[in-house]
Amino acid sequence: MPRFFSQSLKFQCMFWLGLATSGCIATQGIAPQQQTLHASDLDSGDAIAQAAKEAGWPSFQWWRDYGDEQLDQWLELALKDSPSLAIASARVRQAKAMAGIAESAESLRIDGNASIKRHHWPADPFYGPGDLSDKSTWDNNSALGLSYPLDMWGRDSSRTEEMLDSAHMSAAQARQAQLELQNNVLRAYIQFSLNFAQLDIAHEVFAQQSQILELAQRRLEGGIGTHFEISQAQTPLAESQRQIDSLEEAIALSRNQLAMLAGKGPGAGAALHRPVLSLQRAMTLPSVLPSELIGHRPDVVASRWRVSANARGVDVAHAAFYPNVDLVGGLGYIASGGGILEFFARRKINYNAGAAISLPIFDGGRLRSELGEASAGYDVAVAHYNQTLINALTDISDQLVRRASMDRQQVFVAQSVASAKRSYDIAITAYARGLTDYLNVLNAQTALFHQEKIQQKIQAERLTVHAALVVALGGGVNTPVDSPAEQTLNPRKPGPVLRGLDQWMSRP
The pLDDT tens digits for 70-127 are 999 999 999 888 888 888 888 888 888 888 888 888 888 889 888 888 877 777 766 6
- Are the C-beta atoms of residues 389 and 294 closer than 8 Å to each other? yes
| Amino acid present at 110 | I
**Mean pLDDT along residues 264-271:** 90
What the chain holds in terms of domains, given with CATH numbers, is 29-106+154-322+365-505 (1.20.1600.10), 109-150+324-358 (2.20.200.10)
**DSSP-assigned states of every residue in 3-15:** HHHHHHHHHHHHH
Q: Pick from 78, 87, 83: which is nearest to 268 by CA? A: 78
**Mean pLDDT along residues 140-158:** 85
| Amino acid present at 157 | S
* Tens-place pLDDT, residues 178-198: 889 999 999 999 999 999 999
How many CB atoms neighbour CB 491 within 10 A? 21
**Mean pLDDT along residues 450-455:** 91
Q: Give the integer Cα–Cα distance in Å for 37 and 18.
A: 35
SS (H, E, C) 227-290: HHHHHHHHHHHHHHHHHHHHHHHHHHHHHHHHHHHCCCCHHHHHHCCCCCCCCCCCCCCCCCCH
Question: With pLDDT > 70 as the criterion, what percentage of the chain qualifies?
Answer: 75
Per the document, the length of the chain is 508
* Tens-place pLDDT, residues 458-467: 999 999 998 8
**Mean pLDDT along residues 52-58:** 39
C-alpha dist (Å) from residue 75 to 65, 68, 189: 13, 11, 10
Q: Select the more confidently predicted residue: 223 or 378.
A: 378
> Is residue 251 predicted with pLDDT exceeding 80?
yes
Please, what is the Cα angle at 34 between 33 and 36, to 5 degrees? 150
Q: Select the more confidently predicted residue: 360 or 30.
A: 360
For the chain, helix (H) and strand (E) counts, in that order, are 11, 4
| Amino acid present at 404 | A
**Mean pLDDT along residues 64-69:** 87
Looking at every residue in the chain, the average pLDDT score rounds to 77
Q: How confident is the model at residue 50 (pLDDT cuts 50, 70, 90)?
A: very low
Least confident segment among 43-47, 75-79, 93-97, 401-405: 43-47
Q: What is the pLDDT of residue 286?
A: 55
Q: What is the pLDDT of residue 338?
A: 64
Percentages of the chain per state (helix, strand, coil), in multiples of 5: 65, 10, 25
Q: What is the pLDDT of residue 55?
A: 34
> How deeply is 445 buried, as exposed, middle or buried, from its count of CB atoms within 10 A (0-12, 13-18, 19+)?
buried
Q: Pick from 378, 410, 171: which is nearest to 282 by CA? A: 410
- Are the C-beta atoms of residues 318 and 118 closer than 8 Å to each other? no
Q: Select the more confidently predicted residue: 484 or 325.
A: 325
Q: Give the integer Cα–Cα distance in Å for 448 and 416.
A: 9
Q: Give the integer Cα–Cα distance in Å for 57 and 283.
A: 8
- Are the C-beta atoms of residues 302 and 176 closer than 8 Å to each other? yes
* Tens-place pLDDT, residues 298-343: 888 888 889 989 999 888 888 888 888 888 888 887 776 666 666 6
* Tens-place pLDDT, residues 347-362: 677 888 888 888 777 7
Which of the listed ranges 268-282, 312-326, 408-422 does the model predict with the highest average pLDDT? 408-422
Q: What is the pLDDT of residue 421?
A: 92
Q: How confident is the model at residue 209 (pLDDT cuts 50, 70, 90)?
A: confident
Q: What is the pLDDT of residue 301?
A: 86
> Is residue 289 predicted with pLDDT exceeding 80?
no
Instruction: Report helix, strand or coil for 172.
Output: helix
Q: H or E element: which one contains 298? A: helix 298-319
Q: What is the pLDDT of residue 345?
A: 66
> Is residue 57 predicted with pLDDT exceeding 60?
no
**Mean pLDDT along residues 24-44:** 53
Q: How confident is the model at residue 272 (pLDDT cuts 50, 70, 90)?
A: very high
Q: What is the pLDDT of residue 91?
A: 87
> Is residue 214 predicted with pLDDT exceeding 70?
yes
